[in-house]
Amino acid sequence: MKTFGDLSIKSKLILILLTMTLITFALCSSIFLYNDLKLFRKSLVRNLDILAQTVGANSRAAVYFEDPNAAENILSSLKVDPQIMYAVLYDADGDSFVTYRLDENVKISPPSFPVDQEGQASYNNSLELIRPIMLNDKVIGRIYLKAHLKEYEEVLSNYIFLIGGILFVTVLVSVAIAFKLQSIISNPILSLANTTLQISQEPNYSLRVKHQNQDELGMLFNGFNEMVSQIEKRESALSAANRQLTNEMLERQRSEEALRDSEERLKLALEAITDGVWDWDVTTGEVFFSPGCYSMLGYEPDGFAANIESFRSLLHPEDVELAVGATNAHMEGKTPLYEYESRLITKSGYLLWTLVRGKIVARDKEGNPTRIVGTFRDITERKKNEEALKVSREQIRKLYSHAQNLLEEERKRIAREVHDELGQTLTALKIDLTNVNSDLPPDQRPIKNKIKEMSHLVDRTIETVQRITTELRPQILDIFGINEAIEWQATEFQKRTGIYCEMIIENNLTDLNKDCATSIYRIFQETLTNVARHSEATKIQVHLFNEGNQLVLRVEDNGAGITKNQMADPKSFGLIGIQERALHWGGEAVISGEEGKGTIVHVTIPIYHYE
């Protein structure tokens, strides 16, 4: 926050004028308000005193003869004055005789006073007064009046509102006058300051301060103009001598730079003899290319213009933005050097993959780059190998996917045949055993027991067949979809292992592609297998939901936690299978763990594969 000393002269003058105006107004208003309110308060006390004397005089007979009815009638006349809140007539002994209340609902106990007490007292919002009632120079009683000060408060509020309005108008008028008056002093000073700043920035010593003042400011301006005139004469003489010295230094600097450039180029050529070497003068745009650059692109030496635009014209159109972006990032100091891979068009039209590297080696006084040197290397063969490896990996992935599809189909076929053939045969055998058992006479108890044992064996065999067919291809996946299949598999896992499974399935994914659903189910199945074998967990949480345009399956356990060595083990076929199944659908499987805190398997698959 700026202090008063940091403000401009214009602001200081305005603040001084406004401060003086406000202080003067505040003092005058305070004196006026205090005096007027004091007079008004005296007037209230005087009026209340007159009223007390009048009522007291009228009440002499009632007090003297102790006639409360007459006294009440006299006090009831106080209703014409709404300021009187409470009144009491006391006898000569100081006892309450008659009481009057403006509001009968308000219960107020008469105050007790010493017999000889009289005067007035003021409180927060009321005024109290007690006066003697005299008869033949003898005190026969007293009257007590209590009045509220609402009228006084209203007058005070009106004064404050009036003073506030006058203050607002005063501030506006003062600001207008201050702006006008300050310009008479501040404008000439600002003109001097601007001229001084302009001379220091350009510098142009022919500038002068124009003024019409004949006061102290005029004397200051004349002295300033004379000083600048003297500086201009000395600057002219100094510039002539400086130009001669500068020319000599520039000539020597060019010689030194030429020698340094030659040494730098020679060093780069020796260090990168197999690469193309270039040297870019950023200020002129000229580029030195080594013979290797030309021969790499199929040109004779100096076969294309030695400038940056000519080099960029050899870039493949799709790589120009990449090259310019990498160069700009390095020139802006965002990278220690710039490096990018791009395609260059050779003289024969062949696309040559190159690795371009460069670094700033010289800057001017302002820190702007003036020279960048670097190399570019032919990496066409490497790019071909990378592309071939990419194609090979894709073919292997497709082959793996095809093998998985064939495996699923074979599992489905075997499950169907086992269920239809073996399952039906066992069911028929169970029925036949039941019929035979029913047909035997009661005295064939040993045979009946044997048939019963055989029937139990058939039941267990049927259960085993059902379990095998379910593991081969769970019918719940084909009938009800991935949601129910995941939930069923988790329930069976919990029954089999005793590991508690918490399920969170947010969306109904019944329209999911069947092959994709099978992959997700197998990923989940393999994850549970790894948990049972390796994690030593007591609880897992399964979360299946949509996130944007992604289907997400997240399985988290509280076990020992998978290690980096386990994840990198080439024999971890289960983990590899999870990742390959996700990749097949354009997704990703991220497996992470922390020792003692469990493992997380996070699988995402794009939604467009649902169709």
pLDDT, one tens digit per residue, over 307-335 is 888 888 888 888 888 888 888 888 888 88
Q: Report the C-alpha gap between 188 and 184 in whole angstroms.
A: 7
Q: So what's the pLDDT on residue 107?
A: 65
Decide which of 411 and 236 is more confident. 236
Residue 320 included in any domain? yes
Q: So what's the pLDDT on residue 49?
A: 82
> Which residues touch 86 (CB under 8 Å, ≥6 apart)?
99, 100, 101, 102, 108, 144, 145, 146
pLDDT tier at 243, thresholds 50, 70, 90 = confident
Q: Is the domain of 455 the same as that of 438?
A: yes
* Residue 401: pLDDT over 60: no
- Taking residues 9-27, what's their average pLDDT? 75
* Residue 424: pLDDT over 80: no
Decide which of 113 and 589 is more confident. 589
Residue 166 included in any domain? no
Residue 206 included in any domain? no
- Taking residues 496-515, what's their average pLDDT? 77
Residue whose C-alpha is closest to residue 610's, from 505, 510, 489? 510
CB count, 10 Å around CB of 495? 10
Q: Is 177 helix (H, G, I), strand (E, B) or coil?
A: helix
Q: So what's the pLDDT on residue 270?
A: 43
Residue 263 included in any domain? no
Q: Is the domain of 289 the same as that of 388?
A: no
Q: Is the domain of 282 the same as that of 354?
A: yes
Q: Is the domain of 28 the same as that of 150?
A: yes
Nearest 5°: CA angle at 367, between 364 and 370?
A: 45
Q: Report the C-alpha gap between 35 and 427 in whole angstroms.
A: 117
Average model confidence (pLDDT) for the chain? 76
Q: So what's the pLDDT on residue 285?
A: 87
* Residue 231: pLDDT over 80: no
* Residue 384: pLDDT over 50: yes
* Residue 145: pLDDT over 80: yes
CA 172 vs CA 177, 185, 186, 299: distances in Å: 9, 21, 20, 81
The CATH code of the domain that includes 510 is 3.30.565.10
Q: Is the domain of 547 the same as that of 530?
A: yes
* Residue 400: pLDDT over 60: no
Q: What percent of the chain has pLDDT over 70?
A: 72
Q: Is the domain of 367 the same as that of 410?
A: no
Strands (E), 520-597: 539-547, 550-557, 588-594
Q: So what's the pLDDT on residue 605?
A: 87
> Which residues touch 512 (CB under 8 Å, ≥6 apart)?
481, 482, 520, 551, 610
- Taking residues 263-291, what's their average pLDDT? 73
Residue 360 included in any domain? yes
Q: So what's the pLDDT on residue 263?
A: 64
What DSSP line would sit under 33-62, residue for residue? HHHHHHHHHHHHHHHHHHHHHHHHHHTHHH
pLDDT tier at 115, thresholds 50, 70, 90 = very low
Q: So what's the pLDDT on residue 118?
A: 58
Q: Is the domain of 116 the same as that of 34?
A: yes
Q: Report the C-alpha gap between 131 and 117 in whole angstroms.
A: 8
Nearest 5°: CA angle at 56, between 52 and 58?
A: 120
Residue 610 included in any domain? yes
Q: Is the domain of 63 the same as that of 133?
A: yes
* Residue 267: pLDDT over 60: no
Q: So what's the pLDDT on residue 482?
A: 78
Q: Report the C-alpha gap between 138 and 117 in whole angstroms.
A: 15
DSSP letter at 78 equals G
Q: Is the domain of 304 the same as that of 389?
A: no
Please give the residue range of the domain that contains residue 287. 272-378
Decide which of 224 and 510 is more confident. 224
Domain end (from 473, 489, 523): 473
Domain end (from 135, 158, 181): 158
Asked which of 45-49, 65-69, 260-264, 563-567 is least confident by mean pLDDT, the reply is 260-264
* Residue 408: pLDDT over 60: no
Q: Is the domain of 152 the same as that of 280?
A: no
The CATH code of the domain that includes 32 is 3.30.450.20
Q: Is 276 helix (H, G, I), strand (E, B) or coil?
A: strand
Decide which of 321 and 563 is more confident. 321
* Residue 610: pLDDT over 60: no
Domain end (from 158, 180, 210): 158
* Residue 268: pLDDT over 80: no
Q: Is the domain of 498 the same as that of 608?
A: yes
Amino acid at 486: I
Residue 136 included in any domain? yes
* Residue 241: pLDDT over 70: yes
pLDDT tier at 188, thresholds 50, 70, 90 = low
Q: Is the domain of 143 the same as that of 20?
A: yes
Q: Is 14 exposed, middle or buried (0-12, 13-18, 19+ CB in 10 A)?
A: buried
Residue 105 included in any domain? yes
- Taking residues 102-118, what's their average pLDDT? 61
Q: So what's the pLDDT on residue 205?
A: 63
Of 168-177, 286-295, 464-473, 570-579, which one has max mean pLDDT?
A: 286-295
Q: So what's the pLDDT on residue 407?
A: 59
pLDDT tier at 6, thresholds 50, 70, 90 = low
Q: So what's the pLDDT on residue 114?
A: 47
Q: How many domains does the chain have?
A: 4
> Which residues touch 268 (CB under 8 Å, ≥6 apart)?
277, 279, 373, 375
